[in-house]
Structure 1
Amino acid sequence: MNLSHLLKGGLFLTTLAYVIWGLTPLFYQHLRDVEAMEIFSIRVLFSVPLMVLLLLLSGTPVRIFKVLTQPRTFFWLFLSTACISTSWYLNTWGSINGQVLMVSLAYFLTPLISILIGVLYLRERLTLLQWVALVFCASGFLYACTSLDSFPWLAIGIAVAFGSYGVIKKQVRIDPLNGLSAETLLMVPFALFYLNGYMTEQSAWAAKEGGTHILLGLTAPIVLLPLGLFTVGVARLQNLSTIAVLQYIEPTLYFLLAVFVFGEAIDMNRMTTFMLVWIGFIAFSIDALRRVKQTRRSASPPPEPAAGGARRTGS
């Protein structure tokens, strides 16, 4: 399989997006002396021109202001903005405060939180494997709450925020780039409020250090570059069930970085928590792949009878 075939299929681009996202803690280690809220706020402001550029390069019609004037759409976008903002902030906080392992656990839990929200809010029915996945992940969560030194609020916060984000986005009929652009615009007032009201002369940006300015400016493309790769890659993927497996590249890389690069402690209690969640992840992935195969079988037309078979039927 040559490179052009990989690019055409979208698998390479989607995989690359998840790999870049999974390696972002390496970048944030250079911003450990900067407040997480300052990083978040500056990233929001630098994201605005980049989102405009992505819209132009992709040829996507700009529908941001139109959807923001629709009350129902604005309501759902406001909720999705609150969820993704919380997820972004907690992710950044964990990456610069030696909690990459808990961020990893959060993203392993996220798809299963989405399933649980779908059951409670959308009244969706679960398959047997989905129930198995939920039981094991819930067991991992309860074990973490009772065995770890402190309550895993970071992992639960990210998982609930990002899981809710996925469910809320289903309520809005808007393409991914316009949706994210609208959410970015909704974040801008809060970012400006923080930068104007809470940043002091001791802040990283006010210190006027050239290297720190460059790093802070790069926080936007570090997030949006893989987003662009992901958007293009997913559009070219013929088998969307692949995403159910590929999405775990990111937390797996987080886990490996936390243990082998950053030296975070991985004692028996934490390992047991991850083992329970991983079993749930495996059950979830098998179910996703199986359901896609069933959908393909039901969608494919029945084979046409052979000429001889047709004559026998008519006889």
Structure 2
Amino acid sequence: MQQDNDQNGLFWTTSAYIIWGLVPLFYQHLKGVEAMEIFAFRVLWSVPLMAILLWITVTPVKVFKLLMEPKTFFWLFLSTACISVSWYLNTWGVTHGQVLMVSLAYFLTPLVSILIGVFYLKEKLSPLQFMALVFCLMGFGYACLSLESFPWLTVGIAVAFGSYGLIKKQVKIDTLNGLTAEAILMVPFALFYLIGMSGGTSYDANEGDIRILLMLTAPVTIIPLGLFAFGVKRMKNLSSIAILQYLEPTLYFLLAVFVFKEAVDSDRLITFSLVWFGFILFALDSLRRSRSLRRNKKAKRLVPA
């Protein structure tokens, strides 16, 4: 039974990452629409969909209770700021022919997470993590030196998303309630933008296709989130998630090269090669830690009470 749950969880979680990885195909149809407008409608339509998702998954609604607690509200406000920056930059990148650099950002996110862990949480690096960190830093350093301009898009997404992960660890909130709370906190800013741009947005231009696409930005965001939340609950081997998360930037990279025909010169190839090698080391370390944890749990079960 447990094996069936684990396989089902793996299937749904993998499906979520595949959908996330193919999202640039959807946003290509919104080229010409301001990234901030896309972000605003994505937020507004996400709130009712999150409510539906909470109902479908029979998740206890704790959103308003969380927002009323000062400490929790503080961390949620910070996490909302980080995920908002990540969403905006991701949207800007995929609608401005920068899918390759967005892909690099998600490959570098573990680097940011490890650096935060070392300097903020005082964590110690394993040998494999240290080697992975070195190769990722080499890749990023090479990109800074070889590219025509500083890769601000890559750095912005990686730092925002890496910080988001750290902040989420500071308060115990389930995925769906946490994201619903964050969406609610984004609503005033989305409304402020849309009211300020009244009459000047692509949505107001009475373009039917654009209106429908802007409305669909929410389900494109929420559906894979629901699959992810549904799948993770059924996965026993959580280290698989550490590896599966690289499906998204890998698909971004493949789309950038083979579908959107973005240039991959020798400098970018060297950058990605160094970062990919670092990723392989990250994956090996995750597998090693997972196996060690399973052995320890098995040994504890065998010890007589």
What TM-score does the superposition give when structure 1 sets the normalisation length?
0.93
Residue 245 (1) aligns with residue 248 (2): no
* Residues in 2 aligned to 1:237 and 1:6: alpha-carbon distance in whole angstroms: 7
What is the match of residue 19 of structure 2? 20
Per the alignment, residue 137 of structure 1 pairs with 136
Asked if the contact 1:7–1:13 (Cα under 8 Å) also holds between the matched residues in 2, the reply is: no
Is the radius of gyration larger for structure 1 or structure 2?
1
Which whole-Å deviations, capped at 9, do the CAs of 1:201-234 have from their partners, x for residues lacking one?
A: 3421110111111000000000110000000111
Q: In the alignment, what sits opposite 1:310?
A: none
The alignment partner of 2:176 has SS state of helix
**Residue 85 of structure 2 corresponds to which residue in structure 1?**
86
Residues 41-52 of structure 1: pairs in structure 2 closer than 5 A: 41-52=40-51
**Partner AA of 1:38 in structure 2:** E
The 8 Å contact of residues 9 and 238 in structure 1, kept in 2 or not, is answered as no
Matched, 1:104 2:93: no
Name stretches of at least 5 consecutive residues in structure 1 with no aligned partner: 306-315
Aligned to 1:297: 295
Please tell me the residue identity of whatever aligns with 1:257: L
Q: 1:52 to 1:133 in 2, by over 3 A?
A: same
Partner of 1:207: 205
Partner Cα distance (2:164, 2:79) in 1: 5
The match for 2:174 is: 175
Query: Which letter maps to 1:140?
Result: G
Distance 1:260 1:119 in 2: 37
SS of the residue corresponding to residue 203 of structure 2 reads coil
Q: How many residues align?
A: 301
Q: 1:33/1:295 Cα in 2 relative to 1: closer, same or farther (>3 Å)? A: same
The alpha-carbon distance between structure 1 residues 302 and 58, as it changes in their structure 2 partners (threshold 3 A), is closer
1: distance between equivalents of 2:242 and 2:204?
A: 42
In the aligned structure 2, how far is the partner of 1:132 from the partner of 1:250? 23
Note the alpha carbon deviations across 1:67-107, whole angstroms, 9 max, x for none. 11111111110000000000000000000000000000000
Counterpart check, 1:58 vs 2:57: yes
Q: Is the 8 A contact 1:6 1:12 kept in 2?
A: no
The letter of the residue matching 1:17 is A
Question: 2:155 aligned with 1:156, yes or no?
Answer: yes
Structure 1: distance between partners of 2:200 and 2:59: 41
Distance of aligned partners of 1:301 and 1:93 in 2 relative to their CA distance in 1, 3 Å threshold: same
Contact 2:66-2:73 at 8 Å conserved across structures: yes
Give the whole-Å Cα distance in 2 for the aligned partners of 1:202 and 1:84: 26
Which structure 2 segments of 5+ residues have no match? none
Amino acid at match of 1:249: L
Deviation beyond 4 Å, 4+ runs, structure 1? 4-8, 302-305
Mapped partners of 1:42, 1:95: distance in 2: 17
User: The residue matched to 2:206 in structure 1 has which SS?
Assistant: coil
Map of 2:192 onto structure 1: 193
- CA–CA distance in 2 between the matches of 1:6 and 1:74? 34
Aligned residue in 2 for 1:224 = 222
Residue deviations 1:139-170, cap 9 Å, x none?
A: 11110000011111101100000000001000
Task: Tell me the distance in 2 between the aligned counterparts of 1:51 and 1:203.
Answer: 25
Q: 1:234 — aligned with what?
A: 232
Assess, with a 3 A threshold, how the Cα gap between structure 1 residues 43 and 302 changes in structure 2: closer, same or farther.
closer
Q: Which residue matches 1:270?
A: 268
Task: Summarize the Cα distance change of 1:264–1:69 in structure 2 as closer, same or farther, 3 Å threshold.
Answer: same
On the 8 A contact 2:5/2:234 being kept in 1, the answer is no
Change (3 A) 1:202 1:124: same
Task: Spell out, residue by residue over 1:178-213, the C-alpha distance to the aligned partner (whole angstroms, 9 max, x if none).
Answer: 00000000000000011111x253421110111111
Partner of 1:31: 30
Aligned-partner Cα distance in 1 for 2:138–2:200: 44
Q: Contact 1:22–1:250 at 8 Å: present in 2 too?
A: yes
